[in-house]
Structure 1
Amino acid sequence: MTPTHPQETEDHVSGEQPADSTRDRILQVASQIFAVKGYHGAGVSELGEAAGLQRGALYYHIGSKEDLLFDLCKRHVDEALTRGRAAVASTPDPREQLRRLVHAHLNTLAERRSDVIVAEHEMRSLTGDRSVRLRALRREYQSLFEEVFERGVAAGVFRTAHPIDVMGVLGLLNYTYVWLDPKGPTSVDEIAERLVVLIIDGMAAH
């Protein structure tokens, strides 16, 4: 599935639009444009036109183009963290925690594909404190998986919780955004379940 170029959004309410709604619109069109053209390939004027804003108004809402990129990447990781924490908190069993984490992960990728493309391809363009903060958030998300595997090792159901193994699992899951098609013949949850079996078989204690 290839992200489509955003169409200009029309306001259906007269008068000044609420700031939150305007910012959400900016984030949505920026996510789609960055996913197609890349961060460096997208111009501020193009972003403003797609969002229905003049250049000055756009900067008022986003601060800077890099701030906008940071907010998009952070939005994706925040969503993954929220769903991941809920998945882990929903059951005490490590195997089931892993299963629910995988389902949450793939559903997040499927529902926010343009955000995922931006986060995976354009995060390297972040500098200074923005880069540090985003890497810390991603590390926090990785720790959800590490802690599940650590609990599984303690319970005798997983054989390893080594960070390299966990990064391998996350690499497997993250790459699915390249080929995952929510409208395809195999549902996202069916794909998630197959990957759960693959991961558990590979990590199971023998």
Structure 2
Amino acid sequence: MHSSPHERPPFPEASVAAPIPSSEHRGYQRQQRSASPLASQRRANLVHIAAELFARKGFQSTTVREIADEAGILSGSLYHHFDSKESIVDDILSSFLTSVVDAYRTAEAQGGDPREVLARLVRASYSALDSHRSAATVLHNDWNYLRQLPRFDYLHTTERDIQRIWTGVLTDGQSRGVFRSDIDPELTCLMLRDSIRGSVRWHQPDGKSATSELARHTITVLLAGISADGDDETP
């Protein structure tokens, strides 16, 4: 069942507070810091395997046994690292969103013409998808289910903060006269978010066009549509 635009996964943005992991995740972070290097490596390997399985099969359709089998361990051994499947996807998503937000914060902090800021955010978004493809796919596909769980309340917080950043850049551009005054910043933000995040379903980085080329094309089309003076030159 399709959700409304306001219920889609968050679109990565600039200067927002980093997502706050659940108390369970923070507890496991402390456990990870105190674990041996070998245990940390095994944990990271399990996270990587689980992320690929979740992306391919869906979070709800993937079992702990399948993750353990793929890792070549017994199911019981997996519980030495995580107390549940939810703990694993929590690790995947909170780490992904933290890295995304950090990238946006850096992009926005450089300031400048709103068109340049928007272009940097678009590039940062595609770069994040390229580096964390499985995590982005899980977030996109399983958002409607995960957002209902109290453990993942930070997804809502992150989405609201992210939307404020993107609409802020668009509104700033309108006030400076570089973006059209007749566009709705919130709707534009939602369209951008879904367009970029949804590209994980069809774009293959090693296919016809590289991720950087996809970002350039998005920026060109976007600015041609919202620039007040009709200047579609890509920053």
Place the TM-score, normalised by the shorter chain, in its bin: 0.7 to 0.9
Give 1:108-187 correspondences, 5 Å limit.
108-126=128-146, 127-159=148-180, 160=183, 162-187=185-210
Structure 1 pair 17–56 and aligned structure 2 pair: CA distance change class (3 A): farther
Q: CA deviation at 1:189?
A: 1.3
- Aligned-pair CA distance for 1:80: 1.7
Q: Structure 1, residues 80-124: CA drift from partner, whole Å, max 9, x if none? A: 211111111123221111111111111211222211111111123
CA contact (8 A) 2:140 2:198 kept: no
> Cα distance, 1:44 vs. partner?
0.7
3-state secondary structure, aligned to 1:30 = helix
Q: Which residue of 2 aligns with 1:53?
A: 73
Partner SS state of residue 61, structure 1: coil
Give the TM-score normalised by the residue count of structure 2. Answer: 0.74
* Cα 1:24/1:142, change in 2 over 3 Å: farther
Contact between 1:85 and 1:144, CA under 8 Å: does it hold in 2?
A: no
Shift of 1:183: 1.2
How many residue pairs align between the two structures?
Answer: 191
Higher relative contact order, structure no. (Cα contacts within 8 Å, ≥ 6 residues apart): 2
Q: Give the match for residue 227 of structure 2.
A: 204
**Which deviates further from its counterpart, 147-156 or 70-79?**
70-79
Task: Determine the C-alpha separation between the residues in 2 that align with 1:177 and 1:183.
Answer: 13
**Seq. identity, %:** 28
CA distance in 2, matches of 1:106, 1:60: 35
AA partner of residue 40 (structure 1): Q
Relative to the length of structure 1, the TM-score reads 0.83
- Structure 1 counterpart of 2:179, one-letter code: F
Q: Identify the residue that residue 8 of structure 1 maps to in structure 2.
A: none
Whole-angstrom distance in 1 between the partners of 2:110 and 2:39? 35
Is residue 72–residue 119 contact of structure 1 (8 Å, CA) maintained in 2? no
Quick one: distance in 1 between partners of 2:149 and 2:200? 28
Equivalents in 1 of 2:202, 2:113: separation in Å? 30
**Post-superposition CA distance 1:49-107 (Å, at most 9, x none):** 22343323312312211121222222222222111111111232211111111111112
Q: 2:192, 2:156 → 1: CA distance?
A: 18
Cα-to-partner distance string for 1:121-153 (whole Å, 9 max, x where unaligned): 112332432232112123322333122112212
Q: Does 1:74 align with 2:67?
A: no
Change (3 A) 1:139 1:82: same
Runs of at least 4 residues of structure 1 off by over 6 A? none
Partners of 1:110 and 1:181 within 8 A in 2: no
Match of 1:36 among 38, 56, 68: 56
Alpha-carbon RMSD: 2.0
5+ unaligned residues in a row in structure 2: which ranges?
1-35, 230-235
CA contact (8 A) 2:115 2:173 kept: yes
8 Å CA contact retained: 1:110, 1:180: no
